Amino acid sequence: SSSALKESPLLLQNGTGSLPRNLAATLQDIEVKRQLVLQQKGQQVIEEQRRRLAELKQKAAVEAQSQWEALHGSPPHHNSLYSLSGSGLPFMHRSILHHQRPHGMQQQDHGEEPDHAYDTLSLESSDSLETSVSTGNNSACSPDNMSSASGAEILKIEEMEKMLKEAHAEKTRLVEAREREMEMRRQALEDERKRREELEKRLQDETVHRQRLIEKEVKMREKHFSQARPLTRYLPIRKEDFDLKTHIESCGHTVDMCHHIILTQKMCKGYLTKMGGKIKSWKKRWFVFDRLKRTLSYFIDKHETKLKGVIYFQAIEEVYYDHLRSAAKSPNPALTFCVKTHDRLYYMVAPSAEAMRIWMDVIVTGAEGYTQFMN
Given a contact cutoff of 8 angstroms between Cβ atoms, the answer to whether 65 and 80 are in contact is yes
Q: How many CB atoms lie within 10 A of CB 94?
A: 9
Cα 254 to its chain centre, rounded Å, is 73
Report pLDDT for 373: 53
Comparing C-alpha atoms, which of 273, 353, 364 is closest to residue 313?
A: 364
- Report how far residue 365's alpha carbon sits from residue 345's, in angstroms, rounded to the nearest whole number: 18
Query: How many helices (H) does the chain have, and how many strands (E)?
Result: 10, 8
Given a contact cutoff of 8 angstroms between Cβ atoms, the answer to whether 367 and 313 are in contact is yes
Report pLDDT for 97: 41
Residue by residue, DSSP assigns 162-176 as HHHHHHHHHHHHHHH
Q: At what angle do helices 114-140 and 21-71 cross, to 10 degrees?
A: 160
Burial class (CB in 10 A: 0-12, 13-18, 19+), 338: buried
Q: How many CB atoms lie within 10 A of CB 182?
A: 10
Task: Give the total residue count for the chain.
Answer: 375
Q: Please report, as a single letter, which amino acid is at residue 241.
A: D
- Report how far residue 375's alpha carbon sits from residue 365's, in angstroms, rounded to the nearest whole number: 17
Task: Please give the chain's pLDDT, 375 residues, in tens.
Answer: 444 444 444 444 444 445 567 888 888 889 888 888 888 888 888 888 888 888 888 888 888 888 888 887 655 444 443 343 444 444 444 443 444 444 444 444 444 444 444 443 343 444 444 444 344 444 444 445 555 556 778 888 888 888 988 998 999 999 999 999 999 999 999 999 999 999 999 999 999 999 999 988 888 777 655 544 444 445 677 787 889 999 999 988 988 889 999 999 999 999 999 998 888 899 999 999 999 999 999 999 999 999 999 999 999 999 999 888 888 889 999 999 999 999 899 999 999 999 999 999 999 999 888 766 554
Q: What angle do CA 186, 187, 192 make, to 5 degrees?
A: 95
Given a contact cutoff of 8 angstroms between Cβ atoms, the answer to whether 261 and 359 are in contact is yes
Cα 332 to its chain centre, rounded Å, is 79
Residue by residue, DSSP assigns 291-303 as TTTTEEEEESSTT
